[in-house]
Structure 1
Amino acid sequence: MSRYVIGDIHGCAKALRSMIEELSPTQNDELIFLGDYIDRGPDSRDVVDQLIELQSKCQVVALRGNHEWMLQSVVARGLDDAMWLRSGGKATITSYGGSIQKIPGDHLEFFDALLPHHQTEREIFVHAMYNPTCEVHEQDDELTYWAHLPTQLPAPHCTGRRVFVGHTPQPSGEVLRHTHLVCMDTYCFGGGYLSAMDLEMETILQVDRHGHVRRVPVERVMMLLRGCASWFRKGEADG
Structure 2
Amino acid sequence: MRTLVVGDVHSGLRALEQLMDRANVSPEDHIIFLGDYVDGWSTAVETIDFLIQIKDTHHCTFIRGNHDELCREWLLTQRENPQWLAHGGTATRDSYLGANRENWELHLNFYADLENYYLAKDNRLYLHAGYTNLKGIDFEYFEQSFYWDRTLWELATALSPDLKPADPNFPKRLTHYKEVFIGHTPISKLKEVPPQKAVNIWNVDTGAAFKGKLTMLDVDTKEFWQSDPVHTLYPGERGRN
State the TM bucket, normalised to the shorter chain: 0.7 to 0.9
- For 1:152, the equivalent position in structure 2 comes to 158
Alpha carbons of structure 1 residues 27 and 35: separation in structure 2 relative to 1, 3 Å = same
Alignment of 1:212-223 (within 5 A): none
- For 1:117, the equivalent position in structure 2 comes to 117
Q: Which runs of 5+ in 2 are unaligned?
A: 160-169, 234-241
| One-letter amino acid matched to 2:51 | L
Is the 2:125–2:177 Cα contact (8 Å) retained in structure 1? Answer: no
- For 2:164, the equivalent position in structure 1 comes to none
Pairwise CA distance, 1:116: 0.5
Alignment of 1:1-239 (within 5 A): 1-76=1-76, 81-98=81-98, 103-120=103-120, 121-131=122-132, 133-139=134-140, 140-148=142-150, 149-150=153-154, 152=158, 155=171, 157-171=174-188, 172=191, 173-208=193-228, 209=230, 210=232
Pairwise CA distance, 1:78: 7.0
- For 2:163, the equivalent position in structure 1 comes to none
Number of aligned positions between the proteins? 211
Pairwise CA distance, 1:80: 5.1
Please list every run of at least 4 consecutive aligned residues from structure 1 whose deviation after the TM superposition is greater than 4 angstroms.
77-80, 98-103
SS in 2 for 1:163: strand
Is the 2:38–2:68 Cα contact (8 Å) retained in structure 1? Answer: yes
| One-letter amino acid matched to 2:134 | T
Pairwise CA distance, 1:102: 6.7
| One-letter amino acid matched to 1:64 | R
Identity %: 26
Alpha carbons of structure 1 residues 100 and 163: separation in structure 2 relative to 1, 3 Å = farther
How does the TM-score come out when normalised to structure 2?
0.79
2:217 and 2:82 mapped to 1: Cα distance?
35
Is the 2:75–2:108 Cα contact (8 Å) retained in structure 1? Answer: no
Pairwise CA distance, 1:98: 4.6
Is the 1:127–1:145 Cα contact (8 Å) retained in structure 2? Answer: yes
| One-letter amino acid matched to 1:36 | D
| One-letter amino acid matched to 2:148 | W
Cα deviation digits, residues 34-65 of structure 1 (max 9, x gap): 00000022211111111111112211000010
Q: Which runs of 5+ in 1 are unaligned?
A: 212-239
| One-letter amino acid matched to 1:115 | E
Larger deviation, residues 75-84 vs 128-137:
75-84
SS in 1 for 2:108: helix
1:78 and 1:138 mapped to 2: Cα distance?
34
| One-letter amino acid matched to 1:135 | G
